[in-house]
Every structure is written in C-alpha cells, then in structure tokens.
Amino acid sequence: MAGGLFGRTVMFFLPWVPKFVIRWVSRRYVAGNDIESAIKRIKKLELESACTTIDVLGEEINSMSEANFFVEEYESVINAIAKDNLNANISIKPTAFGLLLDHEKGLENISRICKLASEHDMFVRLDMEDHRVTQETINVVSEMHSRGFKNVGCVLQSRLFRTKQDIIDMCENLEGNADFRLCKGIYLEPSEISHVNNKAIVKSFCRDIDLALDKNSYVGIASHDLEVINHTIKSLKIRNLGPGFEDKRKTSPKNRTGKGQGYEFQFLLGVRGNVRRRLASEGHLTRVYVPYGTQWYEYSMRRLRENPDIAWHVTKSILFPWTNRR
C-alpha cells in the first residue's frame, strides 16, 4: 500500500524530473545505448558465472519501416554474440517486428531472426506484452516451431488467469519442446482477467512453476521475490531437480546450448545481484536480462507508467542500497 501510494506520487511529479536524473537511475538497469555497451556488460557478468539474454529496447511501432531497424539490429546482436562466443541468447518483442501492423510481414521478420539464431545454436525468447497480444505471441511460438525452429519460447505472466491453461496447451502442442520464462507480469491488467493483489500473484506464480515443471517444460523463473525463489528450490528438490541432479523427465528439452538441467533463475540487470551470485555458487544456472538501446528514456518512463510500484522499488534501492545489492 505504502509503495503504491509513493509510486503514484512519484508519477505525478515525473514530468518535471530532469532527463539526466532518469538517465542516472537507468544506468544500473540498462547496459547502454549500443551493442558494444551490452557486450561489455555481459563479459563482466560472465565473470560472475551468469549467462545472459540481450534485449534491444523498443516495442510497438507505428510503421513497418521501423521494424527494419529491429531486424537489422538483432542480426548484429546475434553475430556479435557468436563472434565473441558469449553464453547469451536474445529476447524480442513481436510488436517491434510489425506483428500488429502487417501480420504476415511481421511473422517473416521474426522467422528471419529465429533462422539466424538457429544457425548459431542460439535460443530466442519472445517477450510477452500486454493482454492484447498474449494469444498472438503464443501463436507465433507455435508457428516458428512448425517452421522447424525449436529454439523459440515465450514469456508467460502469472498474474493472468489464463496462464495455467496456456502452460498445459503449449506443453501438449510443442511435443516436449516447451520453454517458458515465468514472471509475475509488469503490465497492470484488468481485474476481470488477472490477479491484482500481490499475494494472489505470488501464489499463482508458485503454482505455475510447479505445473510447468510437472509438464516437463524448461522453466526460467524470472523473479527477485525471495518467497518465489525459496518455493522454487523446494519444488526442485521434491522433483529430483537442481544441482547434482540430471533432468530425467521424459519430454523435457535436452541439450540446448547455454541451458540448465530443466530450469534456470533469471534476474533483471542491476537487481538482487547478491541473491543471483548465491544461487550460482550453489550450482544453479542464473541468467541476467540485459537491455540496451537509445530508447532507454522511453523504456524507463513506460515501465514506471505501467507499474508505479516500480518507483518505490527504485527509490528504495537508491536510498537503502543494501536492500538491493548488485
């Protein structure tokens, strides 16, 4: 409650906050403006036994010509990862490739990236945006798999009521190649289709993790919430998964480059580094989501508008840095 009130207060004054202040705050959470900045940050993270996912900032576009930038930029990202032999994959937003403007052209753009990534044995994660494109994003995963690109998975948001059925359906349809990043979900969706209370969201998140593991999918647990992380560790032990165990589930994706034994823990850049390093030292695979791009300001402002509670967490990390050590 206090965080939400504080966040809304920050949002009220945000238009008057100097851009350089937003830039100063974002440096911790955004790698920089260009590929070189992202690669430099990734190499430092690899020294901490972390693998990474690169995201080029930007999403829904206004013209198909804008999609060309993302196609070309992600091609450069894939080639840069391959050139330096980095333990990294990519994360893309379907709307940035024109999916809502020209469906067929958008699909071809995404397919072009998935094909190049496949040639380099690299995984492609489709980010999940708001509920307008939930089903469409899931459909794109199925379409890419039908084209032979099994190196593709998506994000599912546990705040949505539909997510459990989506896990079941995708695990059945993808025939042992289902690969999810599970998260709470940053978009504030209507109460008719989603949980709006944090306690309910966490409870739903934990149930989704259990279901995805039981359905033999690969699961990326994208959370900084200690309750979720602790639940996951207990859930893994019950299923004989985790450090020292081989994933013996019958249909779980096997032998993907850069992947763990059926699961991994995922963190945003600059958040809960101490927890990530502890998990890595215990033998868990950890991955850091590394965004970069010239749209850092729009990204930061949009995230704050979508979920004002973030303002509270960011401010707390600045005023009380020990609560969110790197």
Catalogue the active-site residues.
127, 181
Nearest alpha-carbon partner for 89 in 59, 116, 107, 70: 116
DSSP class per residue in 165-229 = HHHHHHHHHTTT--EEEEE--SS---TTTB--SHHHHHHHHHHHHHHHHHTT-EEEEE---HHHH
Longest dimension (CA), the chain: 56
The SS3 of residue 90 is strand
Structure token pair of residue 27: 């440096």
Residue located via tokens 């206004």: 62
Show the beta-strand stretches assigned E in the chain. Answer: 50-56, 88-92, 124-126, 152-157, 179-183, 218-222, 263-268, 286-292
The SS3 of residue 97 is helix
- Report the alpha-carbon angle 184-56-71, nearest 5: 120
Strand pairing of 88-92 and 124-126?
parallel
- Report the alpha-carbon angle 312-203-1, nearest 5: 30
Spatial distance between the Cα atoms of 192 and 176, rounded to a whole number of angstroms: 32
Spatial distance between the Cα atoms of 276 and 280, rounded to a whole number of angstroms: 6
- List, in order, residues 6 or more apart from 59 with CB less than 8 Å away: 93, 95, 96, 127, 129
